[in-house]
Structure 1
């Protein structure tokens, strides 16, 4: 992924020859489904994308600004790919999702550019750090749902990574960009190191949710992992970001397995103290890693695990929102998708069908689930049994912000306990 010029140096000229995101995956079957959880966001039939303002606020974006950007999109009278969806304005112009969120990122970049960056105080450095993170998050949202064949979204991803790398220059933490070899190709990852780490420190390998970039987890590191001395290593899912040249297969952990095999070559971390953390769909990857590489992994933490039900329950699959089905199709390398085809493809992903969940996992496991989560429930969590230690924590769905904070706090305490 080639970095480009600063956002403020890019002239945001309207262009009308770009296909709109919602038209990139051909849907044989359409759905107004609502099978998600509060963690995924708000399901509203007026939007193609799954709107998740609570998570966006948690990542540090100003509430009023988010509402203003969404309002700009909602009031647009420009031509849409589908009139029932507010966020499907055709072309790179006002009202288009990517345009509006990238434009907001550019405003923060302009604020940064106005700062005299000579002889900066610590407070000024921290302000620049936070402002770059905000610009990065806006660009990340612009790219969502991160389709590989979405040219504008790919540009937004580049902008998001560029701003994130600038944010890390002003971070109180040391970070390293590390390349690992996967099938004779290079994968770029980002290693975040805590302060006051004597020699080498334990590392948490983050396995992303389906709709995230690897740069979306900074707050988890800075507020939860780093204070307890944990490093964090992030890597993109197949077809996304720095992993966009890979396609998601039933061997979902392919990239992460290769990375773990090479961790001993990374001088800042203890490759004998590795914990894998799977968020939503990423739990499929994390759980496979724990079963297949128990001698290299000390613990498995899953945040609302996906290991069986969503991959075999056709009714549940059919009731997924269109955007979620399209994300699955894109990650699988499909340009069109029907309910029947999706069911056939996903069936191979069930870790129960793959034979892994028929035995106990030889590493300690912690699973966190939310109340009324249609995609990840207690039954799903209980499928992942450990021969050493199994812990399941159920988090109340309201208030969501407090519940999320509680869940992440408990995850780090558990990690400390197993090490």
Structure 2
């Protein structure tokens, strides 16, 4: 496996002196975690992390392999941080979550790296493209839930991005790595271009990530839904994660994305007058802020299960979040310890209703997609975001989930076409 600075030599061997992920946030309150959605995964008291195999399959990972990796973690007899949690094996060794998923990523990376690069056929290029994408997805899951102070997770993120950039070398679509200035710092983003982008006037969808995702986790949305309709996709990491890891999430959650939009006119491959912002789960907080604060630069707002008010003010809902979800919120907020009371106080400032933005209609067209029985994003939440021009709310049945995801994404692109 070839990686920058021989990264594989540094991490693909057992080591025992790293803190285990579930021990990094000091939890003063515990939770059974029933406040969740099928979109976020399966709640099981035997796991610290939220297990989401359906979404992982949708992102292209082999079902049997995922089950095999989870089984290796589950049967480990090594020492655990918490004996109740299967995925809390201490140290970088067999049975540890990051170790097992990163080694699976290494297998796919090595398979691709061992292919001779001379005289590649189109079929060979496509195989390399798929293999590197799978490697990047496994490494991304290894890093999940992407805590900034998790050293092993940071290594996994590096592996994920390196494999992703390798995959893009063999992609049928063009990509550009862009840098934008945010205050006195620079953040990296990735622009994905459709095949018809030679005209230089393709519209662009700015993706605002969910809490538990890296910007590289949205490639299928681009390749299967956006690109065929001529849309470019620009991805930017959430504060504290990936290329934005040096930023802390605050109530001004849209700081980075605002700076990106302000500088889009300098990007020659897209039409900065045809920008749509797409918010996924927590990322809808960012996207909705952008729509209200920058209506002259944005043509439409698409939210996939929006989080704009309820999650931030409903203490009972917050208290009943899974432990890992609370820890993820604490990590993004720069907290090393979290209690229900402290989390409630911090999140209250995030409510866009409390911030005064939702007291008037959004100046641009809005589409919100919600899923049946989603405890974190329901019809009431979607109705808070009213448009002065066009409001659309689509409710998707919770089963079958795969079909629901496909339907939601297909409808989102049709709507984007209609408003442009």
TM-score interval, normalised by the smaller of the two chains: over 0.9
Q: 1:6 to 1:167 in 2, by over 3 A?
A: farther
* Structure 2 gap ranges (5+): none
Aligned partner of 2:261 in structure 1 is 260
Task: Return the alpha-carbon distance in structure 2 between the equivalents of residues 273 and 372 of structure 1.
Answer: 34
Task: Return the alpha-carbon distance in structure 1 between the equivalents of residues 6 and 288 of structure 2.
Answer: 39
Task: Return the alpha-carbon distance in structure 1 between the equivalents of residues 267 and 196 of structure 2.
Answer: 18
Query: What SS is found at the alignment partner of 2:344?
Result: helix
Aligned partner of 2:280 in structure 1 is 279
The normalised TM-score by structure 2 is 0.98
**How far is 1:4 from its partner?**
2.5
- Deviation per CA, 1:88-146: give whole Å up to 9, x if none: 00000000000000000111112112211110001100100000000000000000000
Q: 1:340 to 1:385 in 2, by over 3 A?
A: same
Q: Which moved more, 1:111-120 or 1:213-222?
A: 111-120
In the TM superposition, what are the counterparts of 1:242-321 in structure 2 within 5 Å? 242-321=243-322
Contact 1:7–1:109 (CA under 8 A) maintained in structure 2: no
Q: Give structure 1 regions of 4+ aligned residues with deviation exceeding 2 angstroms.
A: 3-11
Task: Return the alpha-carbon distance in structure 2 between the equivalents of residues 154 and 354 of structure 1.
Answer: 33
Aligned partner of 1:71 in structure 2 is 71
Query: What SS is found at the alignment partner of 2:358?
Result: coil
- Deviation per CA, 1:211-263: give whole Å up to 9, x if none: 00000000000000000000000000000000000000000000000000000
In the TM superposition, what are the counterparts of 1:53-92 in structure 2 within 5 Å? 53-92=53-92
Aligned partner of 2:158 in structure 1 is 158
Work out whether 1:326 is the aligned partner of 2:327.
yes
Task: Return the alpha-carbon distance in structure 1 between the equivalents of residues 6 and 222 of structure 2.
Answer: 26
Task: Return the alpha-carbon distance in structure 1 between the equivalents of residues 200 and 337 of structure 2.
Answer: 50
Contact 1:8–1:110 (CA under 8 A) maintained in structure 2: no
The normalised TM-score by structure 1 is 0.98
**How far is 1:52 from its partner?**
0.4
- Deviation per CA, 1:295-329: give whole Å up to 9, x if none: 00000000000000000000000000000000000
CA RMSD in angstroms, aligned pairs only: 1.0
- Deviation per CA, 1:324-377: give whole Å up to 9, x if none: 000000000000000000000000000000000000000000000000000000
Task: Return the alpha-carbon distance in structure 1 between the equivalents of residues 128 and 45 of structure 2.
Answer: 38
Q: Which moved more, 1:107-116 or 1:39-48?
A: 107-116
Q: How many equivalent pairs are there?
A: 417
Q: Which moved more, 1:300-309 or 1:105-114?
A: 105-114
- Deviation per CA, 1:51-104: give whole Å up to 9, x if none: 000000000000000000000000000000000000000000000000000000
Q: 1:68 to 1:5 in 2, by over 3 A?
A: farther
Work out whether 1:184 is the aligned partner of 2:184.
yes
* Structure 1 gap ranges (5+): none
Task: Return the alpha-carbon distance in structure 1 between the equivalents of residues 371 and 152 of structure 2.
Answer: 34
Work out whether 1:226 is the aligned partner of 2:246.
no
Task: Return the alpha-carbon distance in structure 2 between the equivalents of residues 118 and 16 of structure 1.
Answer: 41
